[in-house]
Amino acid sequence: MDLVSIFSSIVLVTTIATLVLALAAYFAYKLREWRKPKPAAENKTHIDETFEPIFLKRHMLSDLLHDEHVDNS
């Protein structure tokens, strides 16, 4: 086998292995996400049509001070 054939074969095998790894890693990730328990706090960040959007609302200092605890003592 000459240099070109050896090189081409190595690239072929490596690329196949990486592609298989890529698919396996992605499905492993999806499986883990699917099986992971959803914490209550995280559910709030789901993009959901029923979720009332809080963006495009101005967060005014006076409003925020009413419902948050500020500490800089």
Q: How far is CA 48 from the centre of its chain?
A: 17
Q: How far is the CB of 65 from another protein (least distance, A)?
A: 9
Q: How far is the CB of 73 from another protein (least distance, A)?
A: 7
In whole angstroms, what is the distance from residue 19 CA to residue 14 CA? 9
Q: Which two tokens stand for residue 37?
A: 């328990």
Interface ranges with another protein (CB under 8 A):
3-5, 7-9, 11-12, 14-16, 18-19, 21-23, 25-26, 28-29, 32-33, 38-39, 41-48, 53-56, 58-61, 64, 67-73
